[in-house]
Chain A
Amino acid sequence: MYVLIYALINSFILSLISLGFALVYSIARIPNFAHGAIYVATGYVGWLLINRLSLPFPLAIIVALIFSALIGALIYRIVLIKVRGMALSEIIASYAIGIAILEILRWGGLRGMTFMLPVLIPGSVEILGVSIDYQRLLILGVSGGLLLFLYLFTHHTKTGLSFRAIAQDERASLMLGIDSDRAALLSLSIGSAICGLAALFVLPLGNIVVEAGYSTLIFALAVCVVGGLGSTAGVVAASFILGFAQTLTEKLISSHFQMVVALLAIIGTLILKPSGLFGKQKELEERV
């Protein structure tokens, strides 16, 4: 029972951190390898806002979210837009930016274990005989809310619908007057904001360390590969599979094996169904 609930929460955590990356890739076709960096950077900014500027946590959340959206937009505007379309350069550029941000943060002071974000609602509650802290429940709520918001956004707003159009077929969307550059900019901002959101709610469960940037990236990538790049349903499904697998391994074997699980999941997916669970492996033809 304990396992079930924690696995559930773990899955939602995974989906939170992966949705940002998946969104950016399906719309802008850019793998945002700076994802992990944005995660940690937002958390750090949140910490700074709370501890240096003494802002109340809810306000800090909002400001930090704006900050992460801004970073995403800046990354796009300054760097990625210049290399749009050149797959190799896009990959290298986002990778380099991500590492640069993380290492600058590390050098700039994010060392040691002393950085922590406060939980929004302290304390815990007993559900079905298992003690769960409010923060984790909050994560459940936030991710559920996010998924709902994304669904409504992409199905009922003009911008959201244009996102789906671009994700399906960029050329056709361009012909219909949808500006894919603006969409890419927006998607990078929203994707980064989601990433920041994840950071602000998940980081309170532990410390803010630069290493989290790398592991977050790994997990997000694992989830996206297993679920299929370009499919939101896949990301959710894969989060659950990986979430449960990880929690089970943690319980049955040891927490150290979590990484092994991620590795095996990726290799397994690539061998068995390379396009991922729900991935639309676009027919080879379309790559021309």
Chain B
Amino acid sequence: MGEIILEVQNLSKHFGGLTALNNVTFAVKKGEIFGIIGPNGSGKTTLINCISGFVRPDEGRIYFKGRDITGLPPHKIANYGLARTFQIVRPYYSLPAYKNLIIPLFSPRARKMGGWRGGGKYGDRDAVAVDILEELGFERDSRVPYKLASSLPAGYQKRLELARCLALRPELIMCDEIFAGLSMSEVATLVPLIEKLKMEGLTLIMIEHRLKELFKLADRVMVLHFGEKIMEGEPYEVIEDERVKKAYIGEEVF
């Protein structure tokens, strides 16, 4: 822990006349949970899109594990070990939950990395998929992993989304508002899972609106406002900062 796994330098992105990101620079250390917060429209999702390759930045560089991944296509970045979730979770409707994972397991990276936790031949993807789901709390013996993905409740769908990332055996996962739309109890189930992932050595970047949960999990937090980084530090520092408070004026935050 301590070495830098992701480095973003001077990232800028404009959409027509709108500046979504302006000269954003930060670094994430391996094994930490790095939070990104900011009011709506501050560019958080654009940031994730740039890092994961869905949007090409206008200026700046992104380095993952020392490798320059700026502007690479999304599938290549995913294969380097950088996964992301989507804010609006849309599982593959016509498939059962565990089959949803066959797709990431089909990727070059998953195939190279072999079985899950050393057990299960990589050729037997169904079994591996069910294993992964079990990791995330889908009880193996119940029918839950076999239900159609579209019929799962929101909490399960979010976990399915995480599972999709985990199937890649990534080193860093970027979560785009993973707590969004969940009830308190669903969030309570998700938090220990994330802690477990961190303990297993995964680095996490969490973009969040629900600050209470985020501040409990995060090691460091960065604040974006109108596409600019206005503050970075440990959660307790960020809470106290005047600029952050001003950015959130009008919002009941805590």
A complexed with B: yes
Q: List A residues at the B interface (Cβ < 8 Å).
A: 283-285, 288
* B residues in contact with A288, CB < 8 Å: 86, 88, 90
In the complex, whether B197 has a CB less than 8 A from a CB of chain A is: no
Chain A residue, CB-CB nearest to B15: A283
Contact A283 B88 (CB under 8 A): no
Interfacial chain B residues near A285, Cβ < 8 Å = 49, 54-55
Q: Which residues of A contact B86 (CB under 8 A)?
A: 288
CB distance from B138 to the nearest CB of A (A): 25
Of B15, B54, B90, which contacts A284 at CB under 8 A? B54
Which B residues contact A (CB, under 8 angstroms)? 15, 49, 54-55, 74, 86, 88, 90
Question: Which residues of chain A are near B74, meaning CB under 8 Å?
Answer: 284
- Asked if A283 and B55 make an inter-chain contact with CB atoms under 8 angstroms apart, the answer reads yes
**Which residue of chain A is the closest to B74 with respect to CB atoms?**
A284
What's the least CB distance linking A273 to chain B, in Å?
15
Output the nearest chain B residue to A280 by Cβ-Cβ distance.
Answer: B16
7 nearest A-B pairs in the assembled complex, by CB-CB distance = A285-B54, A283-B55, A284-B54, A285-B49, A285-B55, A288-B88, A288-B86
Distance between B20 CB and nearest chain A CB, rounded to angstroms: 11
CB-defined A-B contacts under 8 Å, sample of 13: A283-B15, A283-B49, A283-B54, A283-B55, A284-B54, A284-B55, A284-B74, A285-B49, A285-B54, A285-B55, A288-B86, A288-B88, A288-B90
Closest chain A residue, CB of each to CB of B73: A284
Query: A288–B74 Cα gap in the complex (Å)?
Result: 14
- The residues of B that contact A283 with a CB separation of less than 8 Å are 15, 49, 54-55
Shortest distance between the CB of A174 and any CB in chain B (Å): 17
> What's the Cα separation between A284 and B75 when bound, in Å?
13
Determine how close the nearest CB of chain B comes to the CB of A153; give it in whole angstroms.
23
> In the complex the two chains form, what is the Cα distance from A285 to B15 in whole Å?
13
Given contacts A285-B49, A288-B86, 11 further A-B pairs with CB under 8 A are A283-B15, A283-B49, A283-B54, A283-B55, A284-B54, A284-B55, A284-B74, A285-B54, A285-B55, A288-B88, A288-B90
Give chain A residues whose Cβ lies under 8 Å from the Cβ of B54: 283-285
Please give, as numbers and ranges, the residues of chain A lying within 8 Å of B55 by CB-CB distance: 283-285
The smallest beta-carbon distance between B9 and chain A, in angstroms, is: 21
A288 to B88, alpha carbons, bound, how many Å?
Answer: 9
CB of A129 to closest CB in B, whole Å: 46
Bound-state CA distance A149–B235 (Å) is: 58
The listed residue with most A CB atoms (<10 A of its CB), out of B15, B55, B88, B90, is B55
Interface centre among B54, B74, B88, B90 (most CB of A within 10 A): B54
Docked complex Cα distance between A288 and B90 (Å): 9
Cα A284 to Cα B77 in complex, Å, equals: 15
Task: Return the chain A residue nearest B88 by Cβ.
Answer: A288
- A30 CB to nearest chain B CB (Å): 23
Chain B: which residue is nearest A283 at the CB level? B55
Which A residue sits closest to B46, measured CB to CB?
Answer: A285
**B55 closest partner in A (C-beta):** A283
* Chain B residue with Cβ nearest A168: B16
Q: Report Cα–Cα, A42/B55, bound state, in Å.
A: 44
Say how far A282's CB is from chain B's closest CB, in angstroms.
Answer: 10
How many angstroms between the C-alpha atoms of A285 and B86 in the bound complex? 10
Q: For B86, give the chain A residue with the smallest CB separation.
A: A288
Kindly list chain B residues whose C-beta atoms are within 8 Å of the C-beta of A284: 54-55, 74
Residues of A within 8 Å of B88, CB to CB, are 288
In whole angstroms, what is the CA distance A284 to B74 when docked? 10
